[in-house]
Amino acid sequence: MDEILQILESDARTTAEEIAKLTGQSVVSVKKTIKSYEKSGIIAKYKTVINRSLLDNGDPFVLALIEVGIMPQKDVGFDHIAERIYQFPEVRTCYLMSGTYDLLVIIEGETIQTVADFVASKLSPMPHVRSTTTHFLLKKYKEDGHIFKKKDRSRRLNIGY
């Protein structure tokens, strides 16, 4: 992969000036390359990784990974059903997989019940969906190369008599 892409994938906030220093290219050349990657779709999006466990706002949030077995359709294979699935607003990610299931669908919901309702009322009844297995994310240790650390909380030692 291109050195500029590697740098941006590691930290999308790296400036063109910093990339130019790291790669030995001119700032103009780096900016032109980045603009070309954005225009062609190679750079699809810039993303912020959020450690939700540190937010104290009480917003409910459930992330579920759903293994989906599907029956591919004649002449369109898996693509048509995958497209129908990833159009749902709850779906954050959809991958075609090898192995015991066909699609891995990652969805976000407010509660476990909203995720269950999505699977029961929208996903499972779809034509060509053969099976679903839902896994709920309990804790993130690492995401997109970033290791999440616990919030430092000063703890007093318990004193027993």
Rounded to the nearest 5 percent, the helix, strand and coil shares of the chain are: 35, 20, 45
pLDDT higher at 159 or 125:
125
pLDDT (0 to 100) of residue 38: 95
Q: How far, in Å, CA of 91 to CA of 159, rounded?
A: 49
**pLDDT for 127-153, tens place per residue?**
999 999 999 999 889 988 888 876 665
pLDDT at 95 over 90: yes
Q: Of 15-24, 53-62, 93-102, 137-146, which gets the smallest average pLDDT?
A: 53-62
Q: Which CATH architecture has domain 56-139?
A: 2-Layer Sandwich (3.30)
Q: Is 154 left (phi over 0), alpha (psi -120 to 50) or beta?
A: beta
pLDDT (0 to 100) of residue 54: 76
pTM score, whole prediction = 0.79
pLDDT (0 to 100) of residue 69: 97
pLDDT (0 to 100) of residue 74: 86
Task: Give percent above pLDDT 70 in the chain.
Answer: 92
In the chain, domain spans: 3-40, 56-139
**pLDDT for 19-51, tens place per residue?**
999 999 999 999 999 999 999 999 999 988 878
Exposed (0-12), middle (13-18) or buried (19+): which is 81, by Cβ within 10 Å? buried
Task: Give percent above pLDDT 90 in the chain.
Answer: 70
Count the helices and strands in the chain (H runs, E runs).
Answer: 5, 6
